[in-house]
Each structure stands twice: as structure tokens, then as C-alpha cells.
Amino acid sequence: MQRRKATFKLYPNAVQQQTLEEWTRLHCELYNAALQERIEAYRKVGISISYYDQQNALPEIKVHRPEFIELGSHALQQTLRRLDLSFQAFFRRVKAGQTPGFPRFKSSTRFSGFCYPDLAGWKLFQQGERGATLRIGSGKDAMMIRARGKHRFAEFKPNDLTITRRNGQWFASVTLRVPETSCARERVDQQQRGIDFGVNDWATFDNGETIENPRFVRNELPRLAQLQRQRDRKKKGSCRYRRLSKQIGKLHERIGNLRRDFLHKETTRIVQTCAVIATEALQPKNMSRSAKGTLEKPGKRIKQKAGLNREILSASFGMAHQMLAYKAEEAGTRLHLANTHQLKPSQRCCVCWEIVPKTLSQRMHQCSHCGHSMQRDQNSAAVVLIDACTPGTGVAARPKPLARQRAKPRSKTRETPTTIAQAI
């Protein structure tokens, strides 16, 4: 069994929306009260209150505050568990010598939502292509909320439900337990591809094919700056200020949606056509390190680096890698992540395997040893592909193919790097 998430957009009517907001407010109140209880108990008498102490107090709370009853006891427990998790994370980080922030009180307008940890209290009905109805609660008080969305699984068992609010819109996220056979993706081709991800072209393949970088943030940047300038002229907290904040939030959401859509489509296409995918194990955090430097030793070209960082983060290689990883597993594709430090794909020649140092601005690979000349990113994609075809290299991340899709083992031995590079 695998776990997969499916998200549905909710279309509550006015009454339902009010109820959802009221319930979110109550969950938030519970969260804040539980946090306060923990803080006060520790300050006044030095006791640490555990999750179970708080869970056991729930029935009593419901006696005094009957409005909590219809929220469902498991959902209430889940909110307490959420607080417990944040305390666990806090203490774990303290122990590790980091300086985490203490769990905070949350404002009900920013509280993201609530969760039903099991099947109690809700049910999702699917209708037609992408229509759905979500039932929350039971009996004659149950809410039937219109929803839209679909997933690709034929067989599944729902596991839990999370209701979230983003920018005034409501979403229902359902965790599904899906059998492996239902997860499997079809593969239409058996190519072996090396990929180099980058900012100029989002992806370059070893055969010279490229995927253009859509640059969603850069395209929307003038509009974003304009809105932010407008907002700065308004009085903070006023109606106009809030209206513009909402528009800015919407714009950010749009950028995120476009990006996710792009990444899903491209990674699916890559995985569907490839039996072997080779790429570098990236560390975007290192790539986008700030150039600011320290006060005594300020960095150079800070603005340019900030712009590059924005582009690196916007291209979201991390998200692309995650998607490639799980989709490759579903399709029985071998994903090879080369060790960048050992392999140095951008510096290595894919024909003679020698290191040819070059700076970031040099876009052509011109080998001084064998005279091989190639576009820089294409060369480095070819290098990682050779690395993938060489046994005993690369770092982990070779998911096992699904049983029914397991391909015949390919015996590929490398005599010299040259022969393989030419074969490819």
C-alpha cells in the first residue's frame, strides 16, 4: 500500500462557509488554550503537561462548551496532537543545539484549518469526471459541500481528511491508501537520458533537447512590485490595505499553481519516456546561498546574486527532484542521482573523462585534451548519463522497480568511458 494525496477544491455555500470558518475558529481557540495551559502549568507549578493530559480533558470541555461537540472528538484530538508535534519539534531542536522559536499563539484568521485523522465524521462522494461532494458531520446536521477535483487511482481507500483555507478559498485534502498496482504508471518508451537542470534552460538532455525555463516569478514581477508599491501607500490595517494584500496573495498563489502544473507535466513526460534517468543530486540551499557576506566583509554583486537566487528557487529543482523520485518509482524507472562533488559533471569532458575547469559564464565545453566541443549543459547531462551506466557509482536513490514491471537486467560494462559515450 502506498499513500497518495488528492486535493479537492470546495465550493461551500454562504451558510457552509460560515460554519467552516466558525469551526476553524474553534479549533484555533482549542489550540491556543492548550498552549496557554502548557505554558502556565510550567510557569506556576513546574509541571509539563502531556498530550494525553489534554486529550483526557476534552470531554469536560465539551460539557461546558457544547459547541465543540459537533467538531468531532477525533478532529479535536488531532488539533491537540498538532500542538504536541510543535512542542516535540521545539524540544528536538533545542536538544540539537539549535535556537528554535517557541510554539506560538495563532490568530484565527491565519489558522490554516483542521484535520479528521480517520474515517469518522466525513465522507467523500465522487460524481462524474471531476465532480465530488464532501459530507462533513453526520445525521441531519451533516453538511454536503460541493467539491471539484479528481485523482488517477482506480483502487483506493481513503484514510484521512484535512480541510484548509488558503486566500479565502477552501480545500479538502484526502490521503488515500493505494495498492502498488494502482499506482503504477505506464511507460511508453525505454530511453536512457541524462538531464542537467539549470536556470537558462530549465532542463537540458544529453541529446541536446532542452526544456525552456518558464520563469513564472520573473514574468509576474512587475505586477507584484506594482501591487506592493500601492499597498505601501495605504494605511496599515485599513480596508484598502487588506484588499491589496489579498490581491498580492492571489498573485503568489497563481505563480505557485502555474509552477506546480508545469513541474507535474514535465516530470510525468520525462518519466514516461525513460527507463533510466540520470541527474545530479542537487543542493539548492547551497546554490542559492546569499552573497551578502558580513558587515566587515560585504559580498560583491549582491543584487545580481539575489536575482539569480530568485530564479534558482523559482525553477524549483527540489520539487522537481521529489516528483521525479516518486514518479520514477511508480513507473519502474531507474533514477540515478550522481554525486556532484565526486563527479563534477559541469567540469568533466564526456568523451575523454578529463576535468576541464570552466567558469559559470562559459557556456561551451571546449576540451583541451581531446578537442571535444559541446554545449556546456548538454555535456554535463552526458556525463551524468555515463555515470549512471557505470556500475557502482552515484548516490543511492535507485528505487526498486515494481514487481510486474521489472525490466530484464541490462548488463552494461564500461571498458573505457569513450566507447559508451560514442554508443550513446
Task: Choose which of 352, 395, 397, 402 interacts with Zn ion (CB under 5 A).
Answer: 352
Task: Choose which of 372, 397, 418, 424 interacts with Zn ion (CB under 5 A).
Answer: 372
Q: Return the amino acid letter for 10.
A: L
Size of the site for Zn ion (CB under 5 A): 7
Task: Choose which of 47, 94, 120, 370 interacts with Zn ion (CB under 5 A).
Answer: 370
- Kindly give the residue spans of alpha helices, DSSP state H, lying in 292-403: 302-315, 317-331, 340-343, 376-389
* 74, 121 contact by CB (below 8 A): yes
Q: Which is nearer to Zn ion, 9 or 358 (CB)?
A: 358
Shortest Å distance, C-beta 391 to Zn ion: 23
386 binds Zn ion (CB under 5 A): no
Assign 3-class secondary structure to 42-105.
HHHHCCCCCHHHHHHCHHHHHHHCHHHHHHCHHHHHHHHHHHHHHHHHHHHHHHCCCCCCCCCC
Within 56-75, the residues that bind Zn ion by CB under 5 A are none
Phi, psi angles (nearest 5°) of residue 172: -115, 120
Cα(390)–Cα(194) distance, integer angstroms: 13
264 binds Zn ion (CB under 5 A): no
364 binds Zn ion (CB under 5 A): no
Task: Choose which of 174, 351, 385, 421 interacts with Zn ion (CB under 5 A).
Answer: 351
Shortest Å distance, C-beta 372 to Zn ion: 4
* 135, 143 contact by CB (below 8 A): yes
Q: Which stretch binds Zn ion (CB under 5 A): 81-89, 232-240, 269-277, 368-376?
A: 368-376
Q: Which stretch binds Zn ion (CB under 5 A): 161-169, 204-212, 288-296, 364-372?
A: 364-372
Shortest Å distance, C-beta 375 to Zn ion: 14
Q: Which is nearer to Zn ion, 70 or 377 (CB)?
A: 377
Instruction: Convert residues 291-330 into a mask of x (bound to Zn ion by CB under 5 A) and - (unbound).
Output: ----------------------------------------
Cα(236)–Cα(202) distance, integer angstroms: 39
Assign 3-class secondary structure to 137-192.
CCHHHCEEEEEECCCCCCCCEEEEEEEEEECCEEEEEEEEEECHHHHCCCCCCCEE
Residues at the site binding Zn ion, with contacts judged by CB under 5 A: 349, 351-352, 367, 369-370, 372
